[in-house]
Amino acid sequence: MFDFLAPRLKGFVIRCGARPALAEEIVQDVMLTIWRKAALFDPHKAQASAWIYQIARNRHIDIVRKESRPVPDELGEDPGTEPDASQIIGLEQEAEQLKHAIAQLHPDQKEMIVKAYMGDLTHQEISSQTGLPLGTVKSRIRLGLGRLRKELKGLR
């Protein structure tokens, strides 16, 4: 797992704006957290990549802001839904469709979406970086999100 995940994580963290030395440190922390908290990971609720994404972003933000991030309370299972194996398969399919939806995005939209999820740029900063008016950037993010949302709607 380490050999597969660590380089991807490092690439991701660098794209999130970390310099290589910091990226190594974050990858080390995240790998450690993944191993330590593996027992807490519930495959009925999320894909592993979604869980790892959040751990990586949280660690990065905690280092940058020096303030530990607020985390929502767990709401537990929806009443009436029993966790079962089909949920795991459903989530796997959802992950595949998501990757497909992302690959289908127009390059402009994809660029904005990537920036938004990497969290290194705010809407305001995205617009000053690209010289685009803020309204266009926002609607591009919204447009890209709308398409992702449509993909996800059918799956929920």
Question: What is the C-alpha separation between 93 and 121, in angstroms, rounded?
Answer: 30
Report, in Å, the least distance between residue 85 CB and another protein: 18
Report, in Å, the least distance between residue 131 CB and another protein: 20
Q: Which is nearer to another protein, 132 or 138 (CB)?
A: 138
Amino acid at 33: T
Q: Which is nearer to another protein, 7 or 83 (CB)?
A: 7
Report, in Å, the least distance between residue 93 CB and another protein: 11
Q: Which residues contact 156 (CB under 8 A, 6 or more apart)?
A: none
One DSSP character per residue, 8-48 reads HHHHHHHHTT--HHHHHHHHHHHHHHHHHHGGG--TTT--H
Report, in Å, the least distance between residue 127 CB and another protein: 13
Residues that bind another protein (CB under 8 A): 2-3, 6-12, 14-15, 20, 23-24, 27-28, 31-32, 35-36, 45-54, 56-58, 60-61, 65, 67-73, 75, 78, 91, 94-95, 98-99, 102-103, 113-114, 116-123, 138, 141-142, 145, 148-149, 152, 156
Joined together, the tokens standing for residue 16 give 């999130």
C-beta separation of 90 from 155 below 8 A? yes
Report, in Å, the least distance between residue 31 CB and another protein: 5
Q: Which is nearer to another protein, 132 or 145 (CB)?
A: 145
Give CA separation, 90 vs 39, 41, 53, 96, in Å: 21, 17, 19, 10
